[in-house]
Structure 1
Amino acid sequence: MLSIVKDCENYIKAHEGSDAFDEIFKLIFAKLFDERRNLKNDSSSAQFRVGALEAAETARTRITTLFKQAKVRWEGVFNPGEEILLGDHSLAYCVSALQRTYLLKSDVDVLGAAFEIMVNPAMKGDKGQYFTPRHVVNLCVLRGSA
């Protein structure tokens, strides 16, 4: 998981002008929603995916819908008007990397370590302390009460 997140972060930094941390968090947020809603058993189909021959625009529509539904389900994590800012190709790249993992069955510490790696060095203190972005805190609080 750590290498996937780092790979996505590097891709976004190389190809986009948006904040890599925020955009990856939005995708993880949408993926968690998809896993909770759509992956009830082994025969369930995930919506958080990009097919090998699928147009990037088609995947964008599906992922954007998941993100909007997640914002409604876990109100308060993101502002109502927030959108996924990645271009179609960057979105497809990151989704294809993340779709191979099952976050709800992952060790929670793995997700925490991934977020810690991505936190901007300016946000870290001189003793390894860092500020946890508000939307991460909000998701953790809401996820724990759901």
Structure 2
Amino acid sequence: MAFFTSPLSASLSARMIYVSSFFLPGILPPIPHHVLHLKSLLPKCVNIFMHTPLISMMSHELKGAAEKEVKRLEEIMRDVDVVEPNKVYDLALCYYQDAKHFLAKEMYLEAFEAAVIAWAYMDALLHMNKIRVAPETLKYFTADPN
């Protein structure tokens, strides 16, 4: 049985289960219908309508979470100092742009996902000393400035 730590990981796992069950026939064993809909695993977290899993939180909560992450990311991206140009920073920048695009299109789940991925890249870059950020924004990262 799978255990999920957050609605986001549940959503991503639901997508993987759904996609693999339809696009990899013969490669993976068949997934029972009740597992495909994840009702037995996550009765209150994920529902699949057509092909898109939706987190069953209120849409305004998801909107607020997406807006909060994108706003925080904007604060970081505005003042980031790239020590050494690299492809990982380019990826983070692309995910940041995607997050803003999805937010403008009111695609809040996708905006939240893209922002979280951008955060992960930025945090990794900070750990590797490839970027510098303003001291007041270090509280958003796991990297130790010392």
Higher strand share: 2
Q: Please say which structure displays the higher CA radius of gyration.
A: 2
Scaled by the length of structure 2, the TM-score of the pair is 0.28
Scaled by the length of structure 1, the TM-score of the pair is 0.28
